[in-house]
Chain A
């Protein structure tokens, strides 16, 4: 089976517009950014969260704190995977107690990463709310989880893959759908 390019669903401009819109939605929903903190899920969620932080600071003060979450140790598929995922460091240098924690990830698919992220966050403190930002929601949930802020809904089939590229990691901003053939 080889992966072939099927379509580009977001380009640099679309990603920028989506994140800017989400920044406004976060402010609207939380009535400012006073109690808001951002948490990027490794790996692609981190640069996306960082951009949201910048967009938020263009509109509101104070600057929103940004933490990094590694969910490896909370995965539910550890005992089923052949390749052991590398553990990276979680870096959340602030208290989550009573905060509105906005979790940022690139793609929402089965919901299992989000489930793991919620478990990890609750081990770090007791947030007032946990909200979820995803750049792409591709459907096919296996758990009762939904995103609060979605960059773009992209209907996909299970044998397709959604590939998010961000400048900070991949040198370019683009979301592609790849097809297994």
Chain B
């Protein structure tokens, strides 16, 4: 397959293994560009992209913006708090207005699940979901797979353990869909209150304790504990969470010797992951960030670099 035959990147649930492979292979070429002295190719000259972030973001936003610059696309970024949304304009109106200024692709992060689907159906521009509520964060899933593939050479038959707040995590959702499609075995662990009620729908095994889940794992991924969840009464205290579910070298000692440690960021050091592990030799947390730019360059190329078939 040479072309991504879709207008938008909304989630990995709807994407095929073939499409994911194409994206990851294209990203490999893009990473080479990032290693050059002149990190720029003229490919998307004259194409325009809007970054619309209704939620705070450092990594994802910087990553998308750099990817656009490296590909020579023109871009504007709008933060939710400084946009007309606060004046009561609807999302559809906002984007339609920007669209008539010549925007061909919208990158959106939004607190409402499904918002990127809604937008994609209402505008002609391509939409890339940069995280919608508790639904999906497809570019994070892709960059995680890219990083693992780079280190292990494959995804098939790897055991990946995802630990933490699975229920509220769009990162977990995208990874669960994506990695299983690529042939990995995915297991999850975390407090029962932070597990989605419909885990069987994902086809993954859930463990109440971390030690069991990481047994023989090739990859262990910690998720950020969203502190605001504590106020909802889903776990008693950060300290207790850290005691029971925080990743430390001891806790994951049952994993494979060459296990990879991942975290999508931002990290709460000492809560879901110990500094010893996060900064240790098995950690590929910073590689994940580098991969992010390459994967986003690949997506921009695949969505914008060529004529849309009518």
Say yes or no for B41: interface residue by CB 8 A criterion. yes
Contact assessment for B307 and A73 in the assembled complex, using a CB-CB cutoff below 8 Å: no
Find out whether the CB atom of B2 lies under 8 angstroms from the CB atom of A84: yes
B242: Cβ under 8 A from any A Cβ: no
Interface stretch of the complex, out of B28-36, B168-176, B267-275: B28-36
Minimum CB distance partner of A90 in chain B:
B32
Check A83/B42 contact, CB under 8 A, given A78-B305, A89-B29, A90-B32.
no
Assess A88 versus B307: contact at CB under 8 Å? Given A78-B43, A123-B40, A124-B38.
Answer: no
B contact residues around A84 at 8 Å (CB): 2-4, 302, 305-306
In the assembled complex, the Cα of A73 lies from the Cα of B302 at a distance in Å of 11
Complex: how many Å from CA A82 to CA B3? 10
User: Chain B 244-260, CB within 8 Å of chain A: the 1/0 string?
Assistant: 00000000000000000
User: Contact check: which of B3, B37, B298, B307 meets A125 at CB < 8 Å?
Assistant: B37
**CB of A127 to closest CB in B, whole Å:** 14
Contact partner of A87 among B29, B36, B38, B307, CB < 8 A? Answer: B29
Q: Chain B nearest CB: distance from A39 CB in Å?
A: 14
| B40 x A85 contact (CB < 8 A) | no
Residue B309 CB within 8 A of the other chain: yes
Q: How far is the CB of A134 from chain B (nearest CB, A)?
A: 24
Q: Provide the residues of chain A in CB contact with B38, threshold 8 Å.
A: 123-124
Contacts A78-B306, A85-B2, A88-B29 given; does A73 touch B301 at CB 8 Å:
yes
Q: Is A74 an interface residue (CB 8 A)?
A: yes
Majority secondary structure, B binding face: loop
A34 within 8 A of B: no
CB-CB under 8 A from B305, the residues of chain A are: 73, 78, 84
Asked whether, in the complex, the Cβ of B43 is within 8 Å of the Cβ of A86, the reply is: no
Closest Cβ of chain B: how far from A40's Cβ, in Å? Answer: 16
| Range, interface on chain B | 20 to 34
Residues of A within 8 A of B209 (CB): none
Q: State whether the Cβ of A160 lies closer than 8 Å to any Cβ in chain B.
A: no
Chain A positions within 8 Å of B26 at CB level? 86-87
Most buried by B among A73, A81, A82, A120: A73
* Among candidates A74, A82, A91, residue contacting B32 with C-beta atoms closer than 8 Å: A91
Pick from B3, B37, B41, B46: contact of A73, CB under 8 Å = B41
Q: Do the beta carbons of A70 and B29 come within 8 Å of each other?
A: yes
On whether the beta carbons of B307 and A81 are closer than 8 Å, the reply is: yes
Taking the closest CB of chain B, its distance from the CB of A164, in whole angstroms, is 22
The interface residues of chain B lying within 8 Å CB-to-CB of A87 are 26, 29-30, 298, 301
Instruction: State the B residues within 8 Å of A (CB).
Output: 2-4, 26, 28-30, 32-33, 36-38, 40-43, 46, 71, 298, 301-302, 305-307, 309
Q: List 11 A-B contacts (CB under 8 A).
A: A73-B29, A78-B43, A82-B306, A83-B306, A84-B302, A87-B26, A87-B301, A89-B28, A90-B29, A90-B33, A120-B41
* A residues at B contact (CB < 8 Å): 70, 73-74, 78-91, 119-120, 123-125
Known: A79-B306, A81-B306. 17 other contacts (CB 8 A): A73-B301, A73-B305, A78-B43, A78-B305, A79-B46, A79-B307, A81-B307, A82-B307, A82-B309, A83-B306, A84-B2, A84-B305, A85-B2, A87-B30, A89-B28, A90-B32, A120-B41
